[in-house]
Chain A
Amino acid sequence: DAHAKQMATVVKIDGIAWFNRMREGVDEWAEETGNNAFLVGPAQADPQQQVALIEDMIAQGVDALLVVPMSPEAIEPVLGRAMEQGITVITHEAASQQNTQYDIEAFRNEDFGANLMDRLAACMGEEGEYAVFVGSLGSQTHNQWVDGAIARQEEAYPNMTLVGDRNETADDQQQAYARAQEVLRAHPNIKGMQGSASTDVAGIGLAIEERGLEDETCVFGTSLPSIAGQYMETGAVDGIGFWDPKIAGKAMNAVAMMVMNGEEITDGMDLGLEGYGNITLDGKVIYGEAFVDVDASNMADYDF
């Protein structure tokens, strides 16, 4: 109908499990509200491709742009142009984004990292060597998780020691596997590893399984049950944390709708979505409490 809004969710890359789950949320929301909400993403993980895609969406005349930036800095100008044209812009996973009306974070990244560290430390008996992995050294989120984790370890677990630099895995499971092998060789006494990209723990888990170190080591990280599940079954990966991209997708659209309707977002508000029942508003960043801790015991509850 004439009041249906065109709402484009532009993600980092099309087709991967994470954003497919987000698409479910977007589609569901479109169904529920009758708006024309849809999700697109570039074929390659390149910020420039995302910029081009956003340009095309602007040209297409959408009413709202909901963006999960590949690189928040790279899309500032194009989002700026979108806002100038009166398009509502909401972002996700980009707390530092300037040209956005609201950025939605499932949680504070440092808290999420610290939470992973707490689980890792508990598993390791609060002592021993551990290593950290990031998808890319340039990824702000991954680095914030790792920063949060390291800060928590330094503050709370003095008997644990970080070994090596941040290992970069290029968001690629093969790379994560090779880096993990290398870490295991270079630090035979290693007890813990924390991954950031969703494929990190899977690569690490494979290396652990091959060495039969399931019980000697603790592996935690951000991932999805569909990716890390088989390693949690064997104990090679001990637990994962994530937020549900489906709900995040819905949340972005919901907030966009509220902005377009002129509704005010306030601290402590309830977005009506799981994990976003009591949001924290910090400037224009909306923080939820949407992290999900999963291990072998409850992984069956999540089928994505």
Chain B
Amino acid sequence: MSRILHSTEGRLALITIVVFVLMAALSPERFLSPQNLTSMAFQFPEFAILALAVAVAMLTGGIDLSVVGAANLSAVVAALFMANVVGADGGAGMVALAFVMALCVGLVAGLFNGVLVATLGLPPILATLGSGLIFTGFAIAMTGGSAVMGLPSAAAWIGNGTILWIPVPLVVFALLAAALGWLMSRTSFGLKTRMFGANPLAARYAAMDTGAVLIKLYALCGMLSAVAGFIVMSRANSAKADYGSSYLLLAVLIAVLGGVNPYGGYGRIIGVVLAVLSMQFLSSGLNLLGVTNFAREMIWGALLIAVMLINTLAKRRTS
């Protein structure tokens, strides 16, 4: 037990469980109802995937504030393709093609960030703030600001379908989280990412291909954003430049709550997953209790600070 409490993730897991139990205790028949559990499972994957992207960027000591912009731009491009070229009766193959297009847009957006950060040396926080505005701007310019509709019904599956009663978005998120966790801990790319985050100068002196690592990393963030954008599009049956605008702060909050060090070098995907879950439990639980959504925001912030305080005090105690 005390071993568990010694790690950031261990404490976070405990917090997640406490939140779950608390919410279940406060409104047992509603919180634990199958509808509520499914509803939660449908809700969180979209911002959870964005949080994964932000977390991955933070591992390098950077940040990606353009995730929402990239997500919407990818979704808008895919939606325009489906609405105008494919039409409402397009099949799964066409939707898959649109998905690939979204991924490509995300990739290009990510590469753009990567070049800004790695090649031109912009501070990531400003580079991605600026590029995020540009991505959103392109999405607005392409759509005139209104929603793109008329998607084929096959497109609804990824956001609303289920596989063996498990929501597809949840499956996508689980696969992505597992793949990222594996990528970050078991591959040379992941290790390089974290080593770079820990000390960029030493990474260069160790003849690490730092530029390539960063560019690949931001490209990865862009593609994750595109997946999130596609899910949002599918769930909304439309794409628009300003969907999910409140997700950015939430994604950053989750990444940090998940124990990712925003100054680089430390962070684990499992932490992000736990943070996402505790946020969702809190959020849905409070909604069931009829607590206003503003209080929810306050509780999130307080939770973040509380976790940081606990981590710091725990570290002080051990040293």
Contact = CB atoms under 8 A, between A and B. Distances in A.
- A touches B in complex, CB < 8 A: yes
Interface of A: 14-15, 38, 40-49, 51-53, 55-61, 71, 73-78, 81, 136-138, 140, 143, 168
B146 A140 contact: yes
Contact of A48 (B156, B246, B292, B297): B246
B237 A46 contact: no
Contacts of A44: 245-246
A15 B235 contact: no
Chain B contact surface mostly: helix
B236 A137 contact: no
Contacts of A143: 146
B145 A14 contact: no
B311 interface: no
A51 B236 contact: yes
B147 A73 contact: yes
B294 A138 contact: no
Interface string B26-68: 0000100101101110110011000000000000000000000
Contact of A138 (B38, B145, B290): B145
Nearest to A98: B237
A61 B33 contact: yes
A248 B292 CA distance: 22
A204 B145 CA distance: 22
Contacts of B296: 43
A42 B250 CA distance: 14
Interface in B144-171: 144-147, 149, 156, 159-160
Tell me the interface secondary structure of chain A in the complex.
Answer: helix
A46 B35 contact: no
A75 B240 CA distance: 12
B293 A48 contact: no
A221 B292 CA distance: 31
A56 B288 contact: yes
Contact of A60 (B36, B149, B242): B36
B137 interface: no
Interface size class of B (residues with CB under 8 A): 35 or more
6 contacts: A42-B293, A47-B242, A47-B243, A57-B287, A138-B241, A140-B146
B235 A51 contact: yes
B244 interface: yes
Contacts of A77: 156, 159-160, 234-237
Contacts of A59: 30, 33, 35-36, 38-40, 284, 288
A14 B243 contact: no
B246 A46 contact: yes
B144 A48 contact: no
Q: Give me the 4 closest cross-chain CB pairs, A-B, nearest first.
A: A137-B145, A73-B238, A74-B236, A43-B293
Q: Which of A14, A57, A74, A140 lies at the interface centre, i.e. has the most chain B CB atoms within 10 A of its CB? A: A74
Contacts of B160: 77, 81
Contacts of A78: 235
Interface of B: 30, 33, 35-36, 38-40, 42-43, 46-47, 140, 143-147, 149, 156, 159-160, 232, 234-238, 240-247, 283-284, 287-288, 290, 292-294, 296-297
Contacts of B294: 14-15, 43
Contacts of A74: 147, 236-238, 240, 243
A137 B147 CA distance: 10
A78 B288 CA distance: 18
B43 A138 contact: no
Contacts of B159: 77
B146 A76 contact: no
B282 to A, nearest CB: 12
Q: Which of A43, A49, A59, A73 has the most CB of B within 10 A?
A: A59
B242 A138 contact: yes
Given A73-B237, A76-B238, A77-B237, A56 B39 contact: yes
A45 B297 CA distance: 14
Nearest to B144: A137
A60 B288 contact: yes
A47 B43 contact: no
B247 A48 contact: yes
A46 B71 CA distance: 15
B76 to A, nearest CB: 11
Contacts of B30: 59-61
Contact of B245 (A43, A46, A55): A46
B137 to A, nearest CB: 12
B239 to A, nearest CB: 9
B240 A73 contact: yes
A56 B284 contact: yes
Given A14-B293, A43-B296, A56-B39, A75 B236 contact: yes
A168 B145 contact: yes
A49 B283 CA distance: 11
A168 B287 CA distance: 33
A252 to B, nearest CB: 19
B40 to A, nearest CB: 8
Contact of B292 (A14, A58, A136, A140): A14
Contacts of B36: 56, 59-60
B28 to A, nearest CB: 13
A53 B39 contact: no
Contacts of A137: 140, 144-146
Contacts of B246: 42-44, 46, 48-49
Contact of B236 (A55, A58, A73): A73
B213 to A, nearest CB: 32
A45 B241 CA distance: 13
